[in-house]
Structures are given as structure tokens and as C-alpha cells.
Amino acid sequence: MSDAPANEFDVIVIGAGPAGLTAGLYAARGGLTVAVFERISPGGQLAQTSEVENYPGFPNGAEGWQLAFDMQQQALNFGVKIITEEVTGVDFSGDRKQVVTPNGTYAAKSVIVATGAHHRELGLPGEHELQGKGVSYCATCDGNFFRGKDVIVVGGGNTAVGDALYLARICNKVYLVHRRDKLRATPVYNQRLAEMENIEFVWNSTPEAILSEGGVVTGLRVKDVNTGDLREIAASAVFVAVGNAPTALLTIAEEIEAGLRPALVIAVPVGFVNVVESKEALFAACAAHGVPAIAAMGRKGGSTVAAAVCNALVYSAAEMLDPAARGWK
């Protein structure tokens, strides 16, 4: 056990999504003291996902919240301390990096920023004011409030389709609004959509205005991108699933421009809105200021890629990539 003060650790991780919990788990298994900070609850976007089918080891799929809970429990089992406080400031200038929350200041030899992504908004008037009153970015969180009612999902990717399928099981009718004439989602979803009789597609349409009365959502006005025609769809809720914007990469890029000089940056998020641009911005900032970086350019990447990179670096540092060092002949 470490004799360090309660607010000092070997490693601090900011963000308790799958990436943050995995980083904490790896560090703790290496004998380091670890604190993972999360302002709400561990799990990140995974905890808001109804069903996960592309995670290895679960042939029948897994519920997102359960998988997130298991990740959290596994990290706790290895001694990771999860602190539910919002990080409001950092100071990476000294040998001991400082992380500031409303409850105090914490220090660590190393800090890992794993803040993931935040949902992208439609940018329509009244959107903020109607959040929690019919506008939502999480179907599994808020869908039950609209059980038996008509709802709208905006988007055409995996998240939007997953939300529509989930809502179709509990709502009267689901309108799926997409700006194109075909979905961007994985083809495996097509058969499931075809089986749901209460999902209506609204193709080639973009949201123009969120309709409301008495401070609650009453529907959505959409515009046909080909004809310019307007249509008003009556519904009790609008679920927005138009992608996520990566926050960690952009934050690190800003910090590097402001003077931060990390020993290494690994940038391999997958397929988010602006993910290509954020990788390019980060890589450019690293190149301009001499910061080493490993990035998977384009839309490909993900936590498995990040884990592989970290694993290779650990083996390399231990000279374990040399067959002779591993005892091979």
C-alpha cells in the first residue's frame, strides 16, 4: 500500500468511460495508485447504449449499462479509486501534475485525459430550453418518459437507428428523420427496421424548428432538401442522434497550443462527427510544437486500437519485442 496523501496518486485519469476505465485498470494492474474522475457516473456513452453487439466475448450481445457497470467493478477490484467530481482545471507545468475540482486539488505523476465525446446538437432555437421537456440526446435514459406516445429520432447512423429500434418497443410510433435517402448505419440494422411496423422514415429531410407549447415539445418542422417543402410532425419528444464531437483531442490540441508538452499523445477515436478534423488539428499542433504523437488518421480507430498501441509501447519499453529478450531461440 502507498503512504502517499489521500489526494496524491501515481496516475489520474479524467473521464470514466470505457477508455478511462481501461486506462485505470491497466495502470492499477501495474502496481500504480490510480484515481479516475467522472462528473456524473462511470460508463460514459456506453452506459447510455441499450444494446451492444460488436464487443468481443458477448455472442448474444450485452446491455450497455451492464457492460459499463462490469468495467467499473473490474477497475475497482484492482484498486482504482473512482471519484465523482467534475474536473474544473488542470496544471501540467510541474513534475507533479495538478487536477482541480470544486472539492480540492489532486496531484499525480501522470494524467490521462479520456473525456470522450459530447453529443452534437441540432442548433435550433429553443433546443436548450426544451432539454428535459421533450428534447433528449439519450433514448435509453429518457425513452420511458414517452412510453405509448409518438416520438421523433433525428439521424441516420448506428446511434439513431439503435435509438429508433429501442423506442419502437415502448412508444406508439417513431419517426426517423434523415437528411439523405438511405441510412449510414451498419446494414445489419436494416432487417430489424423492416420488422418494426411502427417506424416511419422521413427521408431527405432536415430539422427546421422544434415545435412547442406551454414549454414542452409538441413536434418538429422538417424541410425536404430536394423540394424545399415543409412538414410538421406531431410528437411528444425529439431524440437527437446526429453524432458526437470528440472532446479529448480538441482539448489536448488547445492545451498544447497554450504550452502543454506531453511526453506522447495517442489519438485514435473512431467515427465521431469532426473526428477527422480533430485528429488533423491535434496532429498539426503536435508537429508544430515537437510533441510525439500516434494517430489513426481518418475515421478508423477505437478503444481496441488504443489498447493495442499502449500494449505495444509497454512491451517495447520492457524490450519484450526482442525475441531473445523473451527467451525465444
Please pick, among 3, 10, 142, 286, the residue that the annotation labels catalytic: 142
Predicted confidence at residue 328, as pLDDT, reads 64
d(CA 147, CA 157) in angstroms, rounded, equals 23
User: Scanning the structure block, which residue is given the C-alpha cell 489498447?
Assistant: 307
How many other C-beta atoms are found inside a 10 Å radius of the C-beta of residue 239? 29
Contact criterion met (CB below 8 Å) for 87 and 14: yes
Same domain, 236 and 271: no
Indicate left, alpha or beta for 69 from its phi (over 0: left) and psi (-120 to 50: alpha).
Answer: alpha
pLDDT averaged over every residue in the chain: 88
Task: Indicate if the pLDDT at residue 198 is higher than 80.
Answer: yes
How many CB atoms sit inside 10 A of residue 6's CB? 9
Same domain, 57 and 87: yes
In a domain, 327, yes or no: no
Give the pLDDT confidence score for residue 1 in this predicted structure. Answer: 44
**Does residue 150 carry a catalytic annotation?**
no
Contact by Cβ (8 Å): 286, 265: yes
Model confidence at 324: pLDDT above 70: no
* 79, pLDDT greater than 80: yes
Q: Supply the CATH number for residue 277's domain.
A: 3.40.50.10230
Question: What pTM, to 2 d.p., does this model score?
Answer: 0.61
Q: What is the mean pLDDT of residues 315-319?
A: 67
Domain total in the chain? 3
* CA gap 221, 203 in Å, rounded: 14
pLDDT category, 3, cuts 50, 70, 90? low
186 part of a folded domain:
yes
Considering only residues 279 and 73, tell me which one the structure prediction assigns the higher pLDDT. 73
Length of the chain: 329
Of the two residues 55 and 203, the one the predictor is more confident about is 203
Count, in order, helices (H) and strands (E) of the chain. Answer: 8, 18
Least trusted range by pLDDT, from 232-236, 246-250, 266-270: 246-250
Q: Please give the backbone phi and psi of residue 16, each rounded to the nearest 5 degrees, phi first.
A: -115, 40
> Among residues 64, 92, 115, which one ends one of the domains?
115
49 shares its domain with 153: no
CB atoms within 10 A of CB 243: 19
What is the C-alpha separation between 50 and 167, in angstroms, rounded? 10
Residue 276 lies in a domain: yes
Residues 47 and 129 in one domain: no
Domain that holds residue 169: 121-242
Asked if 222 and 161 sit in the same domain, the reply is yes
Joined grid coordinates for residue 137:
440526446
Q: Which of 242, 273, 300 is the last residue of a domain?
A: 242
Per the residue annotation, which of 70, 141, 181, 229 is the catalytic one?
141
Q: Do 8 and 102 belong to one domain?
A: yes
Pairing relationship of beta strands 104-113 and 8-14 according to DSSP bridges: parallel
**Average pLDDT of span 235-250:** 84
In this prediction, residue 80 carries a pLDDT of 97
Can you give the pLDDT at residue 310? 83
Please report whether residue 44 resides in a domain. yes
- In angstroms, rounded to a whole number, what is the distance separating the alpha carbons of residues 169 and 223? 27
Q: Check whether residue 96 and residue 140 sit in a common domain.
A: no
Q: Residue 158 and residue 160: Cα distance in Å, rounded?
A: 6
Last residue of a domain, one of 61, 94, 115: 115
pLDDT reported for residue 237: 98
Q: Is 141 a known active-site residue?
A: yes
pLDDT digits (tens, 9 = 90+) for 277-305: 788 889 999 999 999 999 888 878 877 78
Q: Is the residue at 45 inside a domain?
A: yes
Report residue 58 CA to chain centroid gap.
21
Same domain? For 100 and 188 the reply is no
- Virtual CA dihedral for 311, 312, 314, 317, nearest 10 degrees? 180
- Band (pLDDT 50/70/90 cuts) for residue 329 is low
Q: How many angstroms separate the Cα of 144 from the Cα of each of 96, 170, 189, 234? A: 46, 7, 22, 18
Note the pLDDT of residue 320: 55
Whether residues 139 and 220 share a domain: the answer is yes
pLDDT for the residue numbered 44 = 78
Whether the predicted pLDDT of 86 surpasses 90: yes
Residue 67: CA atoms inside 13 Å, Cβ hemisphere, count?
23
Assign residue 126 the CATH number of its domain: 3.50.50.60
249 and 205, same domain (yes or no): no
Higher pLDDT, 44 or 75: 75
- Listed in sequence order, the residues at least 6 apart from 300 whose beta carbon sits closer than 8 Å to its beta carbon are 270, 271
Cell of 249: 483531442
Quick check: is 325 in a domain?
A: no
How far is it between the farthest Cα atoms of the chain?
A: 77
Of the residues 138, 150, 163, 286, which is catalytic?
138
299, amino acid identity: R
Catalytic, 138? Answer: yes
Which pLDDT band, with edges at 50, 70 and 90, does 171 fall under?
A: very high
- Residue 133: inside a domain: yes
18 in a structural domain? yes
Q: Work out the pLDDT band at 271, boundaries 50, 70, 90.
A: low
> Quick one: pLDDT at residue 230?
97
Tell whether 145 and 129 lie within a shared domain: yes
Q: Could you tell me what percent of the chain has a pLDDT over 70?
A: 91
Whether 40 and 65 share a structural domain: yes
- Give the whole-angstrom CA distance, residue 155 versus residue 164: 10
Q: What pLDDT band is residue 116 in, cutting at 50, 70 and 90?
A: confident
